[in-house]
Structure 1
Amino acid sequence: MNRIKGFGILFLLIILHTACKKSPEGATQIYPDPLPPGTFAKGADVSWLTEMEASGKKFYTNEGVEQDLLKILSSKGINTVRLRVWVDPAGGWCNTADVLTKAKRAKAMNMRVLLDFHYSDSWADPGQQNKPAAWAGQNITALKTSVYNHTVAVLTELKNNKIIPEWVQVGNETNNGMLWEEGKASASMKNFAELVLSGYNAVKFVNPDSKVVVHISNGYDNALFRWMFDGLKNNGAKWDVIGMSLYPTAADWATKNTQCLANMTDMVSRYGSEIMICEIGMPAAEAAASKLFIADIIAKNKSLPNSKGLGVFYWEPQSYNSWSGYKLGAFDDTGKPTVAMDAFLP
């Protein structure tokens, strides 16, 4: 009987040791088990996190308990984080060291990582694709080398810390290419395709299993996506995943989601690509509509044939009190998640 009791106690200790991990602060917390590759990504871009914390921002559960943001997000079903990478940003936010800090925290929570290279010192999006200051005078040949070397350097730093991003974006919302003017797609799709290929080759050199994402906005605009990906394909670019952004309103989200599904289905059929919704958002003040929108786009992405839908990411949900002027978060002005985040729950 005593031997049986001893085995029972030993078994319980093993279970507790497996389930409980030490947080960076030393507190014992029970985290979810690591997710295998291929698990549907319920994600959040949290690139502002360290900057918000440094400014004194705190985050709270719906019950008003102060808690680490990643733990709050995990409790809402988020299993993956997206982190943007800037080359030499003012203040250091989103540079390699800052990205590594956030990636380590995500890994400690058994969250996966989508890395988002902007190839800029600041925001890159459909309205601006500015070269980093250090690359300002470079021609297309030099820019391809810079893209390759920067991508390898960042991924190697993460890999040296045992962090392998499951997905890597080569460019952010590159509706008209990147690294303007040389990489502007409307001026030279060939140049843009070669830049994408440089990024693709760099990713595969460091982490062959990481999937490369080419990301553009307006996921409902099939004509834009056909123009872009026909152009990239015809000019020798490679990618694994087509990434989309989608920012509808409370009034038109159902229509935009239906158009997005048609576009996603066409991208799967036309290129055989997997599809990820890399960014979504809606005003925090419209949380109820946002919850419906999120639940619907998750279902539509999951419905793609042959499990080609990989996941959906909310962009900076933790921004509140109009942090940096941004009003499309999913936390209220007291720092608590709105009902919109419940759409990610199982």
Structure 2
Amino acid sequence: MKPSLKNLFTVFFALLLITGCAAKKSGITNHSDAFVKGADISWLPQMEASGYKFYNENGVQQDCFKILKDHGVNTIRLRAFVNPSDDKFSGHCSTEETVAMALRAKKWGMRILIDLHYSDSWADPGKQKKPKAWEGHDFQLLLTDVYDYTLSVMTALKKAGVTPEWVQVGNETPGGMILPDGSTANWDKLAQLINKGYDAVKAVSPKTKVILHVDQGNNNARFRHWFDNATAHQAKFDVIGCSYYPYWLPGSPDYTLSINDLGNNLKDMASRYGKEVMVVEVGNEDKKAQNTYDMLLAVEQKVKEVPNGKGIGLVYWEPEGARNWSHYALSAWGDDGKPTKALEAFMVK
């Protein structure tokens, strides 16, 4: 029997409904194709526990998440330590605390990026200390440690109802991670450690994108050397992440001396490796809020200029971490508990 036109339309719209529903079931929390305007606010639980109060521009006390959202922030980045202490600055960021923060981010409609340090405290270019519980383990056991820990964080998040859109396997790793085993002096081992983290992320959420992160995003030679080695040793990743802090560069805090180098490097990374790129850490001096505002707009423009939509966004590192609490000079918050002019850059369309 030849199907009627009505029946054909019924089948057509049913297929549209099915495929539409399938598209919505990516499993990624608050997934969006919007440009990332993010904030790493991992200090927030400690600030709140210490009694710190956050206020909007009108002096009204509000949840920090609301203030950030009202300023255009759509993504939250959270660092995670393996077995942290309770120290104010080096501690916290346990799996449990990270899950609790991710749930808050979900409630506020934020996209989520998890930054795994693979250490009990800060991991950065100056230190990549092995977690105490992993000390003395041979390399094969260390591979298992990385996989099991990554899997445990991802599983804890998923059980709580959160699946991050991105996960960093390592934080600012120009010299490697989990030293000495994962040093760039032995790329074969480093690539294996990276791949264990990658595989564990994908085992829980195949759609979550894995980021590898190197500092000095304006330094193209540094990035080519690192990612050429990563590629040659078959390290697996989906996104290239970089830090960009004009404050720590010659001519501080004048970002105009390095912003073009950042833009050129982002374009080169996307073209050379066929990956998306993101500035996963950015910041500049809090006392020069207008300069930081201008810098953020310039960074956003450089990311957006990466061809084929491969520039996906930027994340301010600890904008809420006011200097009078943190002693950190690069927040976007004043000593009055209010955001500075700098944060308004994320409101610009």
Taking structure 1 as the reference length, what is the TM-score of the superposition? Answer: 0.88
Aligned equivalents of 2:243, 2:75: Cα separation in 1: 17
* Aligned-partner residue type, residue 68 of structure 2: L
Match of 1:90 in 2: 85
Query: CA offsets, 1:31-76, max 9 Å, x none?
Result: xxx8543221100000000011001111000110000000000000
Aligned equivalents of 2:303, 2:158: Cα separation in 1: 30
Aligned equivalents of 2:61, 2:213: Cα separation in 1: 35
Pairing 1:143-222 to 2, within 5 Å after superposition: 143-185=142-184, 187-222=185-220
8 Å Cα contact 1:287-1:330 kept in structure 2: yes
Aligned equivalents of 1:323, 1:171: Cα separation in 2: 27
8 Å Cα contact 1:125-1:172 kept in structure 2: yes
What SS does structure 1 have at the residue aligned with 2:331?
A: coil
Pairing 1:18-57 to 2, within 5 Å after superposition: 36-57=31-52
* Percent of residue pairs bearing the same amino acid type: 47
8 Å Cα contact 1:220-1:260 kept in structure 2: yes
Higher mean displacement: 302-311 or 136-145: 136-145
* Aligned-partner residue type, residue 147 of structure 1: V
Match of 1:14 in 2: none
Match of 1:276 in 2: 278
Aligned equivalents of 1:35, 1:300: Cα separation in 2: 25
Report the alpha carbon displacement of residue 252 of structure 1 after superposing the two structures with TM: 2.9
* Aligned-partner residue type, residue 187 of structure 2: M
* Aligned-partner residue type, residue 59 of structure 2: G
8 Å Cα contact 1:82-1:116 kept in structure 2: yes
Query: CA offsets, 1:126-153, max 9 Å, x none?
Result: 0000001000112222211111110000
8 Å Cα contact 1:148-1:201 kept in structure 2: yes
Aligned equivalents of 1:322, 1:294: Cα separation in 2: 23
What SS does structure 1 have at the residue aligned with 2:333?
A: coil
Task: Work out which of the residue numbers 255, 258, 262 in structure 2 matches 1:256.
Answer: 258
8 Å Cα contact 2:57-2:338 kept in structure 1: yes
What SS does structure 2 have at the residue aligned with 1:284?
A: coil
8 Å Cα contact 1:140-1:183 kept in structure 2: no
Report the alpha carbon displacement of residue 220 of structure 1 after superposing the two structures with TM: 0.5
Match of 1:26 in 2: none
Report the alpha carbon displacement of residue 260 of structure 1 after superposing the two structures with TM: 0.6
Match of 1:19 in 2: none
8 Å Cα contact 2:146-2:197 kept in structure 1: yes
Task: Work out which of the residue numbers 53, 57, 60 in structure 1 matches 2:55.
Answer: 60
What SS does structure 2 have at the residue aligned with 1:326?
A: coil
8 Å Cα contact 2:31-2:165 kept in structure 1: no
Match of 1:243 in 2: 241
8 Å Cα contact 1:106-1:113 kept in structure 2: yes
CA RMSD of aligned residues (A): 1.2
Match of 1:13 in 2: none
Match of 1:127 in 2: 126
8 Å Cα contact 2:30-2:106 kept in structure 1: no
Aligned equivalents of 1:225, 1:69: Cα separation in 2: 34
Match of 1:336 in 2: 338
* Aligned-partner residue type, residue 273 of structure 1: K
- Structure 2 unpaired stretches of 5+: 1-28
Aligned equivalents of 1:266, 1:146: Cα separation in 2: 34
Aligned equivalents of 1:261, 1:140: Cα separation in 2: 38
* Aligned-partner residue type, residue 83 of structure 1: L
8 Å Cα contact 1:190-1:232 kept in structure 2: no
